[in-house]
Amino acid sequence: MDIQLAQLTINFKTEEPAPFFQVNNDYRVRFDIDNINRSNLTHIIDMLFNDTDNIKISYYFGTLVPYIFKEPTRIGKYISINSWEERLFEAENEYDSKDIYKIVTIKNVKKAEIINYLLYLKYALKNPYMCIYNDYHLLSNSTDVIDIVSSSTGMINNLKTRFAPIVDHFYDDHTK
């Protein structure tokens, strides 16, 4: 599944590298999740998304073939799901056969719901493969970082400057 961010195209599939590693350093920033709190997460979300944006969340729902396995996300508890789309993808597995998995995209997500869900994931034992995006910016999370990819180098520079103490510089030299 390709996600278009102005002039950047991010490939969001389980067999592809994380979105952070698909762009060079000028278009990305990584934050240490241990230093993320409600206040700075709210500021980050406010900088990335407007209330009028069509904010979307895409996430790995689970495997359908060769067996059914649903990834436990608890997303419905935090996100109002009124409009969504499901897409099936096929990938080779380690046994030279095919896996079929589903990626779900929820549309028109509210900023407050995003903040609450990300704070829940920070302390939960769940780590869904997901990203939150609009036409210009993409945010993805893992157990230890929050990654932001943006088509605007100005936005990335603003985030790196404003939140300098919590920026994770481990992969700064890794380029696409």
Q: What is the pLDDT of residues 109-150, one digit of tens each?
A: 999 999 999 999 988 877 888 999 999 999 999 888 999 999
Q: Do residues 39 and 165 lie in contact, with contact meaning Cβ atoms separated by under 8 Å? A: no
The reported pTM is 0.89
pLDDT band at 16 (very low <50, low <70, confident <90, very high): confident
**114: exposed, middle or buried (Cβ count in 10 Å: 0-12, 13-18, 19+):** buried
